[in-house]
Structure 1
Amino acid sequence: MYEQISHSLLNDILTQCKQPKGEDWQHFYTRLGANFYAIHSLFQHLYGQREDFKAQLGKLVTVLTQQYAQRAAHLRAKDLEREKNHDWFMQQKWVGMAMYCQGFAGNLANMREKLPYLQELGINLLHILPICDCPELQNDGGYAVRDFRQIDVRNGSMADLEQLIAAMQQSDMLLTLDVVVNHTSDEHAWAKQAKLGDQQYQDYYYMYPDRTIPDMFEAAMPEVFPENAPGSFTWNPDTGKWVMTVFNQYQWDLNYSNPAVLVEMVDIILFWANKGVDILRLDAVAFLWKKIGSSCQNEREAHLILQLLKDCCQVTAPGVIFIAEAIVAPIEIIKYFGEDAINAKECEIAYNATLMALLWDAVATKQTVLLTKGVEDLPEKLDRATWLNYVRCHDDIGLGFSDQAIIAAGFEPVSHRRFLVDYYTGHYPESNARGFAFGVNKKTGDARISGALASLAGLETALANQDQPAIDNAVLTIVLLHNLIMSFGGIPLLYYGDAVGTLNNDSYLQDENKMHDNRWVHRPTLDWEVLALKNEPGSVQQRLFSQIKQLIAIRKEISAFADLNNRELIALDNPHLFAFHRYVQTGMHPKVVVIANFDTSPQTAPLQAFRQKGLFKTPVLTELYSGQTLSTDTDSITIPPLTAYWLST
């Protein structure tokens, strides 16, 4: 959009510094011109009252220019290709896996050797959790970054990463890396300069000489880690000031009311884009803007910052997309795609934490009433945006569905959440789950859940008891959960070790740096001898790996599983069943009905509910996973225990 004031300023900026020219730069200047009105408007809204507004905006344009100059020719070509195929990431071909580099392979060099394992399973999108330089001890699993542009030596070197990226590109695999945008380690160079009294860098953080302002903030701020890191401010003796530390005392929150912080972060994001990273996961985006009197989460300015980051990335590296790491209520998470837009204006991908929590609710209750209600309440996403659907991740499981949905499902919110915590920590009589309560808030009684997927699904208990029916049910549960993240709509993201049933690992209790954080129980170091059992017929590892591998392969063939806002729930009277319809106009299997049974006994689904939707008109249906055929010359279909059917119609 052309607008005189902003483009006059852009002309001034470009005139004051020597700008590169030539055919290779035409795309950059076209994108800069197209995006600059939005960049200027957002920057002015956030920082227009500051005396250094024009100077900081000039620095931002300089960063965009310098990073484009360093962008490799093959990455510029990929940008053009993805601009033409703008919904490339929404295709059903992508299936991801998240992992810690050290836990999965030891280091980045070994990661290259493990690519065949991932390719055999069908994984073509790899999310490696934080690998940047961080302190040896106080590092929050890599999320307390000491240097945003260096690889931590425990993970390897930048050369190792570059070789891994080259190998992945040759195999048409995507790489996702984290950029921790909300905070730094207190050992970061900026924090060190702040400790030395440098006001320029103290302004990068929230620092106050007494408790007056911190107390005003904390009056409305919920505690993130009430057990281990209560409060949101930490006294720093070096500066004689209180520093905002929302997550841990060694993680200093960045102050985005200072435009220099935003310019620095744009530079860091584009640095990683230029390394060849396809997707950048922006960590803790809900916390980016702090405001006294608010929860300091999901503020409007946080969204404006994300819009700025997106506009800047579109100028220099438009082939790179963002994941919003915002584990918040559905009404809030949908905003991280971008409000008042048709296409994503902030982040193209967001975690579907609500679906994850609802799936675990259905496993515990054996009912799908809350699952169905919760999915019904999910706001419709934008056209050029997609969910990241997952069963498990490196973090705890929060019970993030709304009280209203719980009440509508016939439960009382407090007692129902208490039941779920009891169920997954093994304190409920009928539960085989072995998990742990995490983040227990003694003031409210709230808690979240830690534990490996297989242990939460009952496999650990079943194996210990040598209970074959319970082992079978645990395997069925694990496959059922993966079935649904494959078919629901979005990018399925597996967690490392889950495809072979990796159990809880309590070795973290021997590590003084980890022993107080029970999330490490589900952050394993994989035993590749155990993983090799995936080739041993009849083993739990083989049963899980082969079934999940087959689900992935079939998913990639089903055109209806592309995420095009093409899902419709189907209401069933049976409280144990969850059903939906996926559809597209053309392609292989353009209409697929998914029916999932969360009960441990067979359940029937009446065909009339589907016929009312214009489905099941053919005399025979094909179940795509098993290949079996089902007759529609009957009143109902029987779904086996803990099973989901993919019915082509």
Structure 2
Amino acid sequence: MMTLSTRVAQLLGPLYPDEEVKVLADELIEIMRLVPGGPEPEPYCNQWDEKDLFVISYADTLLSDARLPLENLNHFLGHYLAECISGVHILPFFPYSSDDGFAVIDYYQVNQSVGDWPQIREIASRFDLMADVVINHCSSRSGWFENFRQEKSPGKGYFVEADLSWDLSTVVRPRTSPLLNPVQTLSGERLVWCTFSPDQVDLNFANPEVLKEFVAILRFYLEQGIRVFRFDAVAFVWKVPGTPCINLEQTHILVRLLRLLVEHQRPDAIIITETNIPHRENLAYFGNGNEAHAIYNFSLPPLLLHTLLTGNCRHLRNWLMTLPPARNGTAYFNFLASHDGIGLRPAEGILSDGEIQQMVTAMDAFGGRISYRGRSGGQRSPYELNISLWNAMAGTAKGEDEWQLARFLCAHAIMLGIEGIPALYIHSLLGTENDHERVANSNHNRHINRHKWDYARLLALLADAGSHHHQVFEGVKRLMAIRRAQKAFHPNATQYTLQLGNELLGFWRQSPDREQSIFAIHNVSDQPQPLPLSALNLIDTETWSDLQSGMELADLQATLTLQPYQSLWLSNRA
């Protein structure tokens, strides 16, 4: 078997053809503090099961005068969610200059306004902690960038400097801001590459010194108890003029390299790639089971939203049928909403332009905002729907109706049931509404779904049975608790999509030990729908019941009627 050093060197070769890759490999192994000849991580091993479920939150979502925001978050997780979740993704908690944390000033510090490393380590001791590795860019106010301008190390050579002669006509952009921005250095003006904003300057991974920095950062995070790493915007990380500069082969090699180093330091560590791109390109980040352990299932949010807006699950059903089962050691990371909006690029090639525009129109009517991206020829197209999930479920394409709560719970029943690891954005779990005030104050569309709660007021609303916040919280928590007890909802359990018409979305899950089957059926329309149980071919020698209601099926040839947005989890194991 090849040594770790040899394997690292083989991956470094295509990235740094002019470097002594054996020397660089040994440096990286030393930075990660790996012991040569140490135990090998078990290949194709699932580091998760049906009990795994994440909540996504900013560090400062819950505010009070009495405690630091991270202490409030820890209190909320421990007192209100401990029985429902296994992990928490705390969005960037570092000092930053813009983009709510994604323009990192210092990767080694915690933003003092939210807490410090002891609070992070406390949460990591109780839950699986996911942290962002903002790998594509850092803040223009970082020490690295200031050193770049002063031509000092560390920082000199750390950023992508562009030349006007470069062919950048095919570069894929997620923003409409200028790609290249002029900055003054000791040697005069330089053009630096900024994929996302002038304050977020792209790092130059073609310089191996940048790679060394991030290996050291990963090692430091592991030492703080962080187990799960979200590689933010990693698809854009490698640049080659004359190409789209997205999803390049060098990027995939880089992910493989970092995974190899991380899993040798902590075998149960998990790397998740955040690649908000069309579906087929996203799947490529599984590699051959040697890149991301998990990928964000970015197509799910827009397809599920379209399904519930139209009362027609055709596109979602067809997509589920073509979703390749994740091999052991890999998993989908499922979500419906996040700190960003509902991305539309992952629906490209699945929904038509007219169907996407239908969603844009509906979300605008429900108080949402629309973000656009630039395209060649000066054109722009919808890139993201910015809206709270609660408001997104206010009605259908016909307008608002009385089914908002039922529709909202149906959406979560679908997400919690399909293959993969589920993650719930805290504002969805709380039923938070559009925050128009934050948008007005910041002129930033994404702030519509980044509300900051007064913690005491939130707890009062969650205790008020008449509040929709209470109803959402208790309803979704109940679904989460049921899900975690079902082996058939293991992230890698077998899944087959059922053909029940366009108004009923159904799929069958079977546990890895084949002892439990669950038929998950959901009425995605605003009208009652018949469900002939004979269409499911339930084994009549077993006892079947609905895990959500407790209803036992006495007659397997009967026809049930599902009310608007009702869902069933029919199981042969209570």
TM, length-normalised to structure 2: 0.91
State the distance in 2 between where 1:502 and 1:49 align.
53
Q: Deviations over 1:344-375 (max 9, x none)?
A: 31111111111122111101111100111122
Give the letter for the 1:388 counterpart.
F
Q: Please state how far the C-alpha of 1:102 moved relative to its aligned partner.
A: 0.8
1:424 aligns with 2:363: yes
The corresponding residue for 1:297 is 246
Residue 144 of structure 1 contacts residue 184 of structure 1 at CA under 8 Å; is this kept in 2?
Answer: yes
Residue 386 of structure 1 contacts residue 490 of structure 1 at CA under 8 Å; is this kept in 2?
Answer: yes
For structure 1, the 5+ residue unaligned runs are 3-32, 70-75, 407-412, 427-432
1:453 aligns with 2:362: no
Could you say if the C-alpha distance between residues 237 and 252 of structure 1 is closer, same or farther in structure 2, counting changes exceeding 3 Å?
same
Residue 104 of structure 1 contacts residue 496 of structure 1 at CA under 8 Å; is this kept in 2?
Answer: no
Q: Please state how far the C-alpha of 1:636 moved relative to its aligned partner.
A: 3.4
After superposition, where does 1:349-498 map in structure 2 within 5 Å?
Answer: 349-401=294-346, 403-406=348-351, 413-426=352-365, 433-439=366-372, 441=374, 443-458=379-394, 470-471=401-402, 473-498=403-428
The corresponding residue for 1:21 is none
State the distance in 2 between where 1:211 and 1:306 align.
30
Residue 431 of structure 2 contacts residue 468 of structure 2 at CA under 8 Å; is this kept in 1?
Answer: yes
| Rg (Cα) greater in structure | 1
Which moves more between the two structures, 534-543 or 300-309? 534-543
State the distance in 2 between where 1:423 and 1:68 align.
56
The corresponding residue for 2:58 is 100
Q: Please state how far the C-alpha of 1:154 moved relative to its aligned partner.
A: 1.8
The corresponding residue for 1:150 is 109
After superposition, where does 1:600-639 map in structure 2 within 5 Å?
Answer: 600-611=526-537, 615-618=538-541, 621-634=544-557, 636-639=559-562
State the distance in 1 between where 2:482 and 2:172 align.
44
State the distance in 1 between where 2:299 and 2:521 align.
19
Counterpart among 41, 62, 79 of residue 30 in structure 2: 62
Q: Please state how far the C-alpha of 1:505 moved relative to its aligned partner.
A: 1.0
Residue 330 of structure 1 contacts residue 378 of structure 1 at CA under 8 Å; is this kept in 2?
Answer: no
Give the letter for the 2:87 counterpart.
L
1:248 aligns with 2:178: no
1:237 aligns with 2:184: yes
Q: Please state how far the C-alpha of 1:121 moved relative to its aligned partner.
A: 6.2
SS at match of 1:327: coil
Residue 356 of structure 1 contacts residue 391 of structure 1 at CA under 8 Å; is this kept in 2?
Answer: yes
SS at match of 2:211: helix
Could you say if the C-alpha distance between residues 389 and 372 of structure 1 is closer, same or farther in structure 2, counting changes exceeding 3 Å?
same
Counterpart among 508, 514, 526 of residue 453 in structure 2: 526
Could you say if the C-alpha distance between residues 445 and 180 of structure 1 is closer, same or farther in structure 2, counting changes exceeding 3 Å?
closer
The corresponding residue for 2:504 is 577
SS at match of 2:416: helix
For structure 2, the 5+ residue unaligned runs are none
Counterpart among 560, 563, 566 of residue 643 in structure 1: 566
Larger relative helix fraction:
1
TM, length-normalised to structure 1: 0.81
Q: Please state how far the C-alpha of 1:416 moved relative to its aligned partner.
A: 1.5
Find runs of 4+ consecutive structure 1 residues off by over 4 angstroms: 82-85, 401-404
State the distance in 1 between where 2:25 and 2:193 align.
26
Residue 205 of structure 1 contacts residue 254 of structure 1 at CA under 8 Å; is this kept in 2?
Answer: yes
State the distance in 2 between where 1:317 and 1:86 align.
13
Counterpart among 293, 316, 329 of residue 348 in structure 1: 293
State the distance in 2 between where 1:149 and 1:525 align.
25
Q: Deviations over 1:539-559 (max 9, x none)?
A: 322322222121111111111
SS at match of 2:226: coil
1:180 aligns with 2:134: yes
Give the letter for the 1:361 counterpart.
H
Q: Please state how far the C-alpha of 1:402 moved relative to its aligned partner.
A: 5.0
Task: Name the count of aligned residue pairs.
Answer: 561
Residue 500 of structure 1 contacts residue 531 of structure 1 at CA under 8 Å; is this kept in 2?
Answer: no
Q: Deviations over 1:293-314 (max 9, x none)?
A: 2211111110100000011112
The corresponding residue for 1:550 is 478
Which moves more between the two structures, 302-311 or 636-645? 636-645
The alignment's C-alpha RMSD in Å is 2.7
After superposition, where does 1:305-316 map in structure 2 within 5 Å?
Answer: 305-316=254-265
Residue 297 of structure 2 contacts residue 333 of structure 2 at CA under 8 Å; is this kept in 1?
Answer: yes
Identity %: 25
Could you say if the C-alpha distance between residues 452 and 403 of structure 1 is closer, same or farther in structure 2, counting changes exceeding 3 Å?
closer
